[in-house]
């Protein structure tokens, strides 16, 4: 799937960018300039390992006679990439004025085609992956991503004090490095250079950085006169997005550092469980202050409170008004114990919150002990660690190592000039990350809030923009790698050896819960200083098996962690023995194969294993070894070898073991061998894990060979694809068989040839093309998936998948679908029967209509009953909530957000239906209309109208603007049936002006309960290529009826059905295997889901065999 961020850089109505066609490797755009622009603009970014190749065609242009500057000689160029880990986002830059063939040209419109290489897979560290897992469309998140590096930077005087923290993090699984300022340098620039060097050159690279000391001990950067640590995270590329996570333990002396480290270690390692109620308690604090200026902090806290309540928390609130002095109520709640404290307000200082008031002196007076909360203070100044101490530092430092108080981490702003719209968005994003995206590490959790700002302000994503200001403004005072508790900790039962002989190379850990049931996906870390560093995850049986090194006598620490489980901290002693024979080394020979010393498909391998007697006193006599494996792809033909006698500390060889490798073995397949060693003195076991190398292919690009590169409805065309060998062996005589996954496209010629493909090379079936034919009934924009089954010499088999887009999408095409299946048809989509006709229904009684006025104040929502059940995103509702700010929501909600957000996103109500979500005020001085509703019984439709409602511009200085008139029509599903039974929705616009750039213009679209599925028609004045611009006399219809009779690419709904993985062992298997499975999902029946369940079994070629 293509990753494309498409932004309009100017933020006004002078530029329009439409996506005409999109595939995995190409995109066609139409770019129109409504006004004369002189300066270059960035129209979007392409994610690709290499710069995209472009081709353009000028549609309309004029020559210009004179200019006072030198012009570029090309209207298009690809800018320097923005870096995300090792992945690149290339900006596409358009020059509206350019010079060619001695002519100076000004563009009115052009068509642009971009060709690029896509990333087949994206492997990023867990810290970043947690944030981007639901933000990058082509990223498959892996919860079993192993920890990488953790870098602690400290003043020399704190080095010894910080060692216990480093030791704990090392045992948990990170590769920890503690660097003194004498090593890094003492300036912020020098420290950043040290971090950047580690990021680019260390293995593993650090994903977390912990800075030790306040600003006087370890410098920060200064941006706009305010301290910030954010620049330490931007070590790759020139953008302001974080490449790693940073936090500061902002302490002034060793005693404070001891306190903070004691808090962190005990919070993670030994949480306070004498009272367990605090794990499911939170505190919301808000101040709509200064009076008359601030109106959104309390609604934002109510939104967060609702999310916590939905997750089973008890939530206390302290709000101004009415509470002015918050000392007593806040102290009482914190002392009882809460896990999170979330503050939003309009005025604060470096020493605390003004309303409800709570200051440094109040923090010092707390007595909450080990019940330590995370504090997010979304307001100005409270995180300004240039002050001594600031409010955040007081929370972090409070107490002592034996009697702590205060908090475990603090996230707050250093500048005095943050603003509500961005602060609210940041707040939403933090708790969306925690409660919806399941981000449980403190750094990524708070960074998710910053990314919410980035996503919701697409006109402000260049350096030095508003978004960058908030990335720098907010800093984490605490450990970014801290895993927060979101439930009462459960306990492990862990089984493993407690003593092992020197030379042991295998170790197994079994992890059970308190009911002795296996725990899957628990992380197991084995650590022995300077010797063993292994991390793995338990399987469905609760087992984690390791191949280890034990070359010295010492303690092997065993640490088991999983979210909301109390860590298990155990060990095994590595001891000397009189005699112990085990694996020492091996060599591979493949003389009958390609003689490359590797395990390849179809080869016969000669494996010479060297054994060593790790004992210190006794010679092992009559030593023999037997090699075994349960891997069905390996056949051992010579399995027993004699080694004779091996003296203490000596090693011995024998003739090679011999085994045959199946031709079906895949690249990077792990072969687990067991070596049983016998002697007169005793018997021992060793393991040997080896990896096979084979060709492996990934899809790179496709091309329709018909002149314009687009497969149109009704067209037959040749098709080529390009594949790349990402394996470890050359692929010889590679052929492909193409299969269409959709009956809308028929494969006429399914055979293609790619020849020999070397490691790392690409090949295209140019000499033997595929041919496909598209049905004339297909709708432009329909995505068609294909599978190519590859074969080659030595019985090689592999598959690659790709998709193409049918036709050219324009504003006369429907928009969508979203992941649920909703489409949006506007009244310019006249070729489709679902397209609505604009037919205004006047219900305002002041204009002679039959409607009932619902008296809404500014920023108010009221709930009314529907006269019929309305099915929306698969569920029935009989109530709606109507908001003054241009939207409704199914069921009941109090949310009345004047700030609109994109769809889907964290902000706003669940079950959103938004014809024009923006800041609207029915009671403004110039507002002359009503919000009203009416049930048209004769036509079985329910109508909600915003009639002549004042549009408010500029949130910092609210300014009444145009009067807007628009309506929603809900059609009774009993009388207007469609494919899924969901109710159809029509938006109509009688008089509309979408010009509020301060509020990212208006949001138009629909969204589900979970804020996961949604269909965005417009946001920030950006439209999909299929959408006609908002205008007077526009109509838009949302329905699940498809524009053609062919199925779309089915995707499992993220929240309604989930996903599962059936693990079958052994795999492959010989002769037969019995598979037993059970599908259990409470709350839904097969009827609810809308389809039955089935099991299909495919062979290696992709052929369905059962």
* pLDDT for the residue 1081: 37
* Better pLDDT: 9 or 539: 539
Residues 1004-1017 pLDDT 10s: 999 999 888 899 99
Q: How confident is the model at residue 509 (pLDDT cuts 50, 70, 90)?
A: very high
Residue 783, token pair as written in the block? 């995505």
Residues 290-311 pLDDT 10s: 998 899 999 999 999 999 999 9
Instruction: Tell me which residue of 207, 183, 424, 440 sits closest to 301, measured CA to CA.
Output: 424
Q: Whole-angstrom Cα distance, residue 929 to residue 925? A: 11
Residues 6+ apart with CB under 8 A from 1087: none
Lowest mean pLDDT: which of 365-374, 459-468, 485-494?
459-468
The CATH number corresponding to 271-477 among 3.40.50.970, 3.30.70.60, 3.40.50.1460, 1.20.1260.10 equals 3.40.50.1460
Residues 6+ apart with CB under 8 A from 975: 940
The owner of tokens 């000596």 is 650
Q: Whole-angstrom Cα distance, residue 253 to residue 744? A: 71
Q: How confident is the model at residue 55 (pLDDT cuts 50, 70, 90)?
A: confident
Question: Does the pLDDT of residue 1092 top 60, yes or no?
Answer: no
- Highest mean pLDDT (candidates 453-457, 976-980, 1088-1092): 976-980
The top-level CATH class assigned to 581-691 is mainly beta
Which residues share a beta bridge with 342? 284, 376
Residues 6+ apart with CB under 8 A from 484: 339, 340, 374, 434, 440, 441, 442, 445
The owner of tokens 């309540």 is 309
Q: Whole-angstrom Cα distance, residue 190 to residue 207? A: 19
Average pLDDT for 813-821 = 91
Strands 352-353 and 358-359 turn out to be antiparallel
Question: Does the pLDDT of residue 1076 top 90, yes or no?
Answer: no
Q: Whole-angstrom Cα distance, residue 601 to residue 670? A: 13
Question: Does the pLDDT of residue 65 top 60, yes or no?
Answer: no
Q: How confident is the model at residue 905 (pLDDT cuts 50, 70, 90)?
A: confident
* pLDDT for the residue 62: 59
Q: How confident is the model at residue 3 (pLDDT cuts 50, 70, 90)?
A: very low
The owner of tokens 């269409």 is 740
The helix (run of H) or strand (run of E) holding residue 221 is strand 221-223
Q: What is the mean pLDDT of the chain?
A: 88
Residues 32 and 109: beta-carbon distance below 8 Å:
yes
Q: What is the CA radius of gyration of the chain?
A: 32
Q: Considering the domain delimited by 699-805, tell me its CATH architecture.
A: Sandwich (2.60)
**Sign of the torsion formed by the C-alpha atoms of 853, 857, 859 and 861:** negative
Question: Does the pLDDT of residue 1053 top 70, yes or no?
Answer: no
Residues 810 and 24: beta-carbon distance below 8 Å:
no
* pLDDT for the residue 208: 98
3-state secondary structure 39-105: CCEEEEEEECCCCCEEEEEEEEEEECCCCCCCCECCCEEECCCEEECCEEEEEEEECCEEEECCEEE
* pLDDT for the residue 282: 99
Average pLDDT for 626-640 = 97
Task: Tell me, yes or no, if the two domains 492-575 and 581-691 fold the same way.
Answer: yes
Question: Residue 847 CB: number of other CB atoms within 10 A?
Answer: 15
Strands 554-561 and 523-528 turn out to be antiparallel
Lowest mean pLDDT: which of 247-261, 268-282, 1040-1054?
1040-1054
Question: Does the pLDDT of residue 1051 top 70, yes or no?
Answer: no
* pLDDT for the residue 552: 93
Question: Does the pLDDT of residue 644 top 70, yes or no?
Answer: yes
Backbone angles phi, psi at 179, to 5 degrees: -115, 130
Average pLDDT for 269-288 = 98
Angle at 133 between CA 1006 and CA 80, to 5 degrees: 100
* Better pLDDT: 34 or 386: 386
Question: Does the pLDDT of residue 1062 top 60, yes or no?
Answer: no
Q: Whole-angstrom Cα distance, residue 795 to residue 734? A: 10
Instruction: Tell me which residue of 1029, 1032, 969, 1027 sits closest to 829, measured CA to CA.
Output: 1027
Domain ranges for the chain: 4-115, 271-477, 492-575, 581-691, 699-805, 823-1039
Average pLDDT for 52-77 = 64
* pLDDT for the residue 61: 58
Residues 163-198 pLDDT 10s: 999 999 999 999 999 999 999 999 999 999 999 999
Question: Does the pLDDT of residue 1060 top 50, yes or no?
Answer: no
Q: How confident is the model at residue 57 (pLDDT cuts 50, 70, 90)?
A: low
- Highest mean pLDDT (candidates 315-329, 997-1011, 1080-1094): 315-329
Q: For the sheet containing 861-872, what is the strand order?
A: 861-872, 875-883, 887-890, 912-917, 1003-1007, 1014-1018
Q: How confident is the model at residue 544 (pLDDT cuts 50, 70, 90)?
A: very high
- pTM for the complete prediction? 0.78
Residues 522-533 pLDDT 10s: 999 999 998 899
* pLDDT for the residue 138: 43
DSSP 571: E
Q: Whole-angstrom Cα distance, residue 800 to residue 790? A: 8
Q: Whole-angstrom Cα distance, residue 133 to residue 142? A: 9
User: If you count them, how many residues does the chain have?
Assistant: 1106
Average pLDDT for 626-636 = 97
* pLDDT for the residue 753: 98
* pLDDT for the residue 1089: 36
The owner of tokens 């192993």 is 146
- Can you spell out the DSSP letters for 837-882? PP------GGGT---EE----TT-EEEEEEEEEEEETTEEEEEEEE
Angle at 491 between CA 260 and CA 508, to 5 degrees: 100
Residues 309 and 259: beta-carbon distance below 8 Å:
no
Q: How confident is the model at residue 263 (pLDDT cuts 50, 70, 90)?
A: very high
Question: Does the pLDDT of residue 110 top 80, yes or no?
Answer: no
Question: Does the pLDDT of residue 216 top 70, yes or no?
Answer: yes
Residue 235, token pair as written in the block? 């070590």
* pLDDT for the residue 46: 67
The helix (run of H) or strand (run of E) holding residue 309 is helix 297-310
Q: Whole-angstrom Cα distance, residue 198 to residue 206? A: 7
Question: Does the pLDDT of residue 782 top 80, yes or no?
Answer: yes
Q: Whole-angstrom Cα distance, residue 566 to residue 152? A: 24
Question: Does the pLDDT of residue 393 top 90, yes or no?
Answer: yes
Q: Whole-angstrom Cα distance, residue 504 to residue 521? A: 25
Q: How confident is the model at residue 1054 (pLDDT cuts 50, 70, 90)?
A: very low
Helix, strand, coil percentages, rounded to 5, for the chain: 15, 40, 45
Residues 349-360 pLDDT 10s: 999 999 999 999
Which fold would CATH assign to domain 492-575? Immunoglobulin-like (2.60.40)
Helix pair 442-456, 466-473: axis angle to 10 deg: 160
Average pLDDT for 140-144 = 75
Helices (H), 67-224: 126-132, 159-172, 181-184, 188-201
- Is the previous residue joined to 290 through a cis bond, with omega within 30 degrees of 0? yes
* pLDDT for the residue 1099: 46
Q: How confident is the model at residue 1100 (pLDDT cuts 50, 70, 90)?
A: very low
């Amino acid at each position: 799937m293509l990753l494309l961020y498409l932004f309009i850089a100017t933020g006004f109505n002078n530029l329009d960018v439409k996506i005409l066609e999109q595939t995995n490797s190409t995109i066609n755009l139409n770019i129109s300039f409504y006004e004369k622009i002189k300066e270059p603009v960035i129209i979007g970014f392409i994610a690709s390992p290499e710069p995209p190749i472009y081709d353009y065609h000028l549609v309309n242009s004029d020559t210009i006679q004179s200019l006072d500057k030198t012009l570029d000689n090309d209207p298009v160029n690809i800018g320097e990439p923005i870096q995300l880990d090792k992945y690149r986002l290339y900006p596409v830059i358009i020059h509206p004025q350019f010079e060619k063939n001695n002519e100076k040209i000004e563009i009115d419109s052009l068509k642009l085609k971009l060709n690029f290489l896509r990333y087949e897979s994206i492997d990023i560290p867990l810290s970043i992956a947690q944030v981007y897992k639901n933000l990058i469309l082509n990223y498959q998140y892996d919860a079993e991503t192993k920890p990488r590096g953790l870098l602690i930077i400290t003043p020399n005087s704190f080095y010894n004090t910080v060692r216990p923290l480093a030791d704990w993090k090392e045992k948990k699984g990170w590769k920890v490095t503690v660097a003194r300022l004498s090593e890094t340098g003492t300036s912020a620039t020098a420290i950043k250079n040290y971090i950047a060097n580690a990021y680019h050159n260390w293995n593993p690279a650090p994903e977390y950085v912990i800075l030790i000391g306040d600003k006087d001990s370890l410098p920060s950067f200064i941006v706009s006169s305010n301290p910030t640590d954010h620049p330490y995270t931007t070590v790759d590329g020139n953008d302001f997005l974080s490449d790693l996570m940073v936090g500061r333990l902002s302490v002034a002396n060793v005693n404070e550092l001891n306190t903070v480290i004691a808090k962190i270690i005990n919070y993670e390692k030994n949480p306070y469980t004498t009272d367990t109620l605090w794990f499911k308690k939170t505190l919301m604090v808000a101040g709509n202050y200064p009076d008359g200026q601030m109106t959104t902090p309390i609604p934002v806290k109510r939104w967060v409170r609702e999310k916590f309540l939905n997750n089973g928390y008890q939530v206390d609130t302290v709000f101004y008004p009415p509470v002015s002095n918050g000392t007593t109520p806040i102290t009482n709640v914190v002392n009882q114990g809460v896990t999170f404290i979330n503050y939003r307000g309009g005025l604060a200082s470096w020493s605390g919150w003004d309303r409800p008031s709570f200051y440094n002196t109040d923090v010092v007076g707390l007595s909450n002990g080990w019940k330590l909360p995370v504090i997010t203070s979304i307001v100005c100044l409270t995180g300004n660690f240039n002050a001594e101490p600031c409010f955040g530092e007081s929370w972090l430092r409070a107490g002592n190592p034996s009697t702590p108080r205060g908090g475990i981490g603090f996230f707050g702003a250093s500048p005095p000039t943050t603003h509500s719209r961005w602060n609210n968005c940041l707040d939403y994003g933090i708790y969306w990350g925690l409660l919806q995206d399941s981000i449980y590490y403190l750094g990524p959790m708070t960074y998710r809030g910053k990314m919410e700002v980035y996503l919701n302000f697409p006109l402000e994503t260049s350096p030095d923009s508003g978004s960058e200001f908030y990335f720098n403004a907010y800093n984490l005072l605490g450990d970014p790698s801290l895993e927060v508790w979101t439930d009462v900790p459960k306990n492990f039962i862990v089984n493993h050896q407690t003593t092992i002989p020197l030379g042991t190379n295998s170790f197994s850990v079994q992890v059970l819960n308190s009911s002795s049931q296996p725990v899957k996906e628990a992380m197991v870390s084995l650590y022995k200083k300077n010797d063993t560093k292994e991390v793995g995850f338990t399987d469905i049986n609760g087992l984690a098996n390791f191949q280890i090194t034990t070359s010295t006598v010492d303690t092997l620490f065993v640490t088991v962690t999983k979210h909301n489980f109390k860590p298990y901290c155990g060990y095994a002693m590595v001891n000397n023995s009189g005699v112990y024979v085990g694996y020492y080394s091996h060599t591979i020979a493949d003389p009958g194969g390609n003689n490359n010393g590797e395990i390849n498909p179809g080869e016969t391998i000669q494996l010479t294993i060297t054994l060593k007697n790790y004992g210190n006193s006794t010679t092992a006599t009559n030593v023999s070894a037997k090699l075994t494996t349960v891997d069905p792809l390996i056949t051992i033909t010579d399995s027993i070898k004699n080694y004779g006698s091996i003296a203490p500390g000596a090693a011995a060889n024998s003739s090679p073991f011999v085994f045959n490798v199946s031709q079906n073995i895949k690249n990077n397949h792990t072969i687990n061998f067991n070596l049983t060693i016998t002697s007169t003195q005793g018997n021992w076991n060793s393991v040997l894990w080896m990896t096979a190398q084979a060709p492996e292919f990934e899809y790179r690009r496709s091309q329709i060979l018909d002149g314009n590169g687009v497969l149109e409805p009704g067209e037959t065309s040749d098709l080529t694809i390009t594949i790349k060998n990402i394996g470890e062996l050359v692929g010889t005589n590679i052929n492909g068989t193409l299969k269409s996954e959709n009956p809308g496209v028929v494969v006429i010629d399914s055979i293609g040839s790619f020849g020999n493909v070397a490691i790392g090379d690409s090949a295209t079936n140019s000499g033997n093309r595929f041919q496909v034919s598209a049905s004339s009934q297909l709708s432009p924009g329909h995505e068609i998936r294909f599978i190519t089954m590859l074969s080659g010499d030595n019985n090689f088999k592999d598959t690659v998948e790709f998709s193409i887009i049918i036709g050219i999408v324009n504003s006369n095409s429907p928009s969508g679908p979203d992941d649920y299946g909703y489409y949006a048809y506007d009244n310019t989509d006249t070729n489709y029967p679902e397209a609505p006709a604009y037919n205004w229904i006047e219900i305002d009684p002041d204009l002679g209509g039959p409607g009932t006025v619902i008296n809404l104040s500014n920023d108010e929502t009221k709930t009314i009953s529907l006269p019929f059940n309305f099915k929306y995103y698969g569920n029935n509702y009989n109530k709606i909530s109507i908001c003054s700010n241009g939207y409704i929501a199914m069921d009941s909600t109090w949310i009345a957000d004047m700030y609109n957000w994109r769809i889907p996103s964290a902000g706003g109500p669940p079950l959103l239906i938004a014809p024009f979500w923006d800041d609207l005020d029915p009671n403004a001085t110039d507002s002359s209309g009503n919000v009203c509703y009416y049930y048209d019984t004769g036509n079985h439709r329910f109508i909600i109208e915003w009639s002549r409602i004042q549009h408010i511009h500029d949130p910092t200085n609210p300014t009444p603007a145009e009067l807007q008139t628009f309506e929603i029509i809900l059609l009774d599903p009993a009388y207007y049936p469609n494919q899924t039974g969901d109710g159809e929705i029509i938006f109509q616009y009688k008089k509309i002006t979408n010009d509020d750039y301060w509020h990212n213009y208006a949001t138009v679209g629909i969204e589900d309960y979970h804020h996961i599925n949604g269909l965005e028609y417009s946001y920030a004045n950006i439209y999909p290529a299929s959408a006609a611009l908002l205008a007077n006399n526009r109509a838009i219809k949302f329905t699940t009826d498809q524009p053609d009779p062919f199925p779309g690419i089915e995707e499992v709904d993220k929240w309604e059905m989930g996903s599962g993985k059936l693990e079958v062992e052994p795999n492959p298997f010989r002769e037969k295997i019995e598979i037993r499975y059970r599908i259990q999902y409470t709350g839904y029946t097969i009827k609810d889901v809308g389809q039955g369940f089935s099991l299909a079994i495919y062979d290696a070629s992709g052929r369905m065999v059962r």
